[in-house]
Structure 1
Amino acid sequence: MKVNSTELQNNFGKYLMLAGQEEIIITRNGTEIAKLTAMKEATVTNIDGTNTVHENASDYGYGGKKATYEEFLQLQQKSEERYEYIDGEIYWLASPRTAHQIAITELLVIFYNTFQGKDCTPMVAPYDIELRRTPENINIVQPDLMIICDLEDHLNENDYYKGVPKLVVEVLSKSTQRKDLIKKLDLYMSCGVNEYWTVNPDNQEVTIYHFEDKNISHYTTFKKSETAQSFIFEELRAEIDRVFRL
């Protein structure tokens, strides 16, 4: 697929998702200038025969069978490691870096102060969120940070939340951005999340996506010296310099 640079800039989220399916050639004044392709991840086979995609690996080669949801649950019960399960693949969650933790801590404080005494509750990982594309397609993710506005209405008998957060936040790294910007963006958009924040410590930017009717309706990237503004919560703002204070 070919797309000009202006179209790419105006619809970056859309083409990030498409890059997971095909190569995107970027043009300027009719001349090919760049290429947008999917990043690669590595898959290992566990003792029980399931496959795990390791986020912190540099190569990609998913050649084994996909794990069933039951196999994922068995692995989760046997291991003290943290995992996510997205579209039939198991992802091991590596230990986060310092910049990641500082960004999440700062955002959690901002979110907590914003929603204190209100109906919506900030929650932070590790906290399993179950999202279903269809009744049979079950996904388990652990967003870095989320805003839940129907907590009491969707707690099951075991005190697990079974609803859909209004807003989720993921902090990117070079090894996880393909999953966060393509797989998770599509999952959140398809399953009823209203707003998605991607936080990039490397370039110190926050991009906010607003989802409507299972599509990206708006998105904005906020940079240093700017203040990120939520699309769905007028009172929710975050100074970029504070989020990336190191």
Structure 2
Amino acid sequence: MPLSQETKKYTFADYLTYPEDERWEIIDGVPYMQAAPAPVHQEVLTELVRQMANYLTGKPCKVYPAPFCVRLPLGNEKNEREVKNIVEPDISIICDRSKIDDKGCNGAPDMIIEIISPSSIKMDRVVKFNKYEKAGVKEYWIVEPDQKLVSVVVLQSNQRYGRTELYTEDDKITVSIFPDLIIDLSVVFTS
């Protein structure tokens, strides 16, 4: 839920003042506190990170599980402290190491995975979908642990996400940005 309905637009400068033991995101200048994830969420996250990290060992790209700050500048900010879109995706994969600093990632990750909960459905399916597309995230997954379903979109040459591909617990997903990485969903959804 939004912190307040005031007209003030919050920025990365405000984000840096929030308590470290709380998870916050700022979307279009509006802060949202993140709920603690359920155990099934963490189990799915852990398995996805395990499979991806094993594949990425020794490669230039790195996987970062939440909590991990991603700043999505719009391009009109004078400096990073003015960024009004700060997210904490469940999983981020970043190949351009120049985007990484001691505060997280400044710019679009190559891939983002969000594991939805009942309270995050609209944010992940609509708001973040649009933000990630506009920022240039090459591949975006929305994982639904309760339905054992994964929706995958890939950025096309027109800088828009293409058709949504759906996968169930019986499927294996070939990651588009790493064609030799295949994620086995039967292992991800074992619970």
After TM superposition, the score normalised by the length of structure 2 is: 0.88
State the distance in 2 between where 1:114 and 1:235 align. 9
SS at match of 1:138: coil
Tell me if structure 2 keeps the 8 A contact 1:145–1:169: yes
Partner of 2:68: 127
State the distance in 2 between where 1:243 and 1:67 align. 41
Q: CA deviation at 1:160?
A: 4.2
Partner of 2:38: 97
Query: How many correspondences in the alignment?
Result: 184
| Counterpart selection for 1:229 from 168, 174, 178 | 174
SS at match of 1:65: coil
> Cα gap change, 1:205/1:124 in structure 2, threshold over 3 Å: closer, same or farther?
same
Partner of 1:23: none
Partner of 1:148: 94
Q: Which has the higher contact order (CA 8 A, sep 6+)?
A: 2
SS at match of 2:113: strand
Tell me if structure 1 keeps the 8 A contact 2:155–2:161: yes
User: 5 Å matches for 1:20-59?
Assistant: 42-44=1-3, 51=4
SS at match of 2:141: strand
State the distance in 2 between where 1:160 and 1:142 align. 10
SS at match of 2:125: helix
Alignment partner of 1:116 is 2:61: no
Alignment partner of 1:194 is 2:138: yes
State the distance in 1 between where 2:65 and 2:41 align. 13
SS at match of 2:85: strand
> Cα gap change, 1:162/1:177 in structure 2, threshold over 3 Å: closer, same or farther?
same
Instruction: Indicate the percent of aligned positions where both proteins have the same amino acid.
Output: 30
Q: Which has the larger radius of gyration?
A: 1
After TM superposition, the score normalised by the length of structure 1 is: 0.69
Gaps of 5+ in 1: 1-41, 45-50, 52-63
CA-to-aligned-CA distance 1:39-89 (integer Å, 9 cap, x gap): xxx545xxxxxx1xxxxxxxxxxxx2244234x643651423110001121
